[in-house]
Chains A and B, each alone.
Chain A
């Protein structure tokens, strides 16, 4: 089924590496001794409960925030495509989706990821002339992903890329990411609340709760006691899904895809969404008495 873990044996180029990152926020330690590396072609998913420091770590890795201690090394002239969690644009700014995309800055000499291809793949040609404030949340996610790809990234950083997207949309986005990662060989770092569907294509999962509780291949992580105490038990490798039904998202037919994938969608949600909560914690630093991994950050 899945390829074996390739973490340390990977010969691919290192894109970004963080060493012993510690960060304090108003006297409180929010990150402790975090070290990680991201290689070309690798998918790393950062998961953790609310307040685990995911966003802070992401900001540090992107260079938006200076860590209290520790070093971040980025490959020289590394092009990062960033997909923020959400983006608020004032109504007074007249801007179409097309203009928004065209403003994407790139230092690349040539487009190795053709822009027309991105538009076609993500099915946003029809949105191009709409004001950016008038598109829906799910459309915005696709537009933000397109903009990240427009920058011709060597590393794609996604902050909660499927927030507010329905189950089918989520699996589409993940499958699409996996496809283009294979096609263009860039690295992916993403932040997520929940493993669920992410697991399938991720090379390495980092489970964060101020420090890295556990890491490794999704299969290992999902069976690690630390993970189970943080998130509850899951069936390894299979999507467990809680359907938070939202009336706004129900207008489209669930059979139709938003994203043009090379192959049909091949996943099925588990019929057993039951979680086992409240296992004893083997790592006392985890502070994981509260294991609710519900939505919203």
Chain B
């Protein structure tokens, strides 16, 4: 039933909204640019709060979502999102019990959920799936519904940041100080983590499980050299992300390279280029 509804939405977007005119390359570019825009605001905080391992864990466990979707024969995008949200919430709750160091905890969760995902996929003999496309992404498989989801999450992120930008900065500086000054630390952090899980679930199609973290942190890290303020770093991070997507897709088209890795290499090249620049 859900799949029928999504099919109709897809058709509506393709035909009535004119997305079909873009062609698969145009859709890929649109999705990629949208993703660069939504990953930048999350990426800067992942970098500032040194949480890249957290992002990696979420990404690994997103593969579990793929296998669950295949097992239950549910919609792929939505199942990945639901599973990722559950896992993000689980990590968030566990990390507040402080029995294990969060580093160890994330290491256990990342790889056990990846392993479980791979086992579940292998059990389904009847289904032929291209595991490579989940590990490394397949930007050309983006459909109109994915673009709608990206736009929706972009809207959520924009609303969240509009309300909590200062709170997030204060939590990043020192969460205890923020708490004493009246910031609702736990609430804001949980919302941030859930948005991160959403974003990762979506970007899996584009750059794949193994490369998602790089989409989060490389543009942000490259933007550091150009920024004097947190807001500038966010802006530059978006710009660098978009350029990376454009360069990556172009290179992929030109030389028949895998698109996800090409995007990541483009971002890395920009990072290295900016590394030689003196700190702004």
- Look across to chain B and name the residue whose beta carbon is closest to the beta carbon of A105: B181
A64 and B176 contacting across the interface, CB-CB below 8 Å? yes
B101 at the interface (CB under 8 A from A): no
A84 and B173 contacting across the interface, CB-CB below 8 Å? no
Partner of A92, one of B179, B182, B224: B224
The CA of A63 and the CA of B179, in the complex, are separated in Å by 8
A residues in contact with B151, CB < 8 Å: none
B176 and A105 contacting across the interface, CB-CB below 8 Å? no
The CA of A67 and the CA of B166, in the complex, are separated in Å by 29
B contacts with A, residue count (CB < 8 A): 27
A contacts with B, residue count (CB < 8 A): 25
B47 at the interface (CB under 8 A from A): yes
Interface flags, B107-143, vs A, CB<8A=1, else 0: 0000000000000000000000000000000000000
Knowing A93-B48, A103-B169, the reply to whether A82 touches B230 (Cβ < 8 A) is no
Name B's interface SS: helix
The CA of A197 and the CA of B180, in the complex, are separated in Å by 27
Closest-CB distance, B128 to chain A (whole angstroms): 43
Instruction: List residues of A (102-121) whose CB comes within 8 Å of B's CBs.
Output: 103-107
Partner of A103, one of B166, B179, B232: B166
Instruction: List residues of A (245-295) whose CB comes within 8 Å of B's CBs.
Output: none
Partner of A90, one of B49, B166, B182: B49
B residues in contact with A90, CB < 8 Å: 47-50, 172
A residues in contact with B50, CB < 8 Å: 90
A146 at the interface (CB under 8 A from B): no
Name A's interface SS: loop
- Count of inter-chain pairs, beta carbons less than 8 A: 68
Closest-CB distance, B212 to chain A (whole angstroms): 19
Among B178, B182, B220, B232, max chain A CB count under 10 A is at B182
A94 and B181 contacting across the interface, CB-CB below 8 Å? no
Partner of B227, one of A59, A80, A89, A94: A94
Closest 7 CB pairs of A and B: A82-B180, A105-B181, A93-B48, A94-B227, A87-B174, A92-B47, A80-B180
Which positions in A face B, CB cutoff 8 Å?
A: 59, 62-64, 80, 82, 84, 87, 89-90, 92-96, 99-100, 103-107, 147, 151, 157
Instruction: List 18 contacting pairs A-B, 8 Å CB cutoff, sorted by A.
Output: A64-B180, A82-B181, A84-B176, A87-B174, A89-B173, A90-B49, A92-B221, A93-B230, A94-B224, A94-B227, A94-B232, A96-B228, A96-B229, A100-B173, A103-B166, A103-B170, A105-B166, A105-B183
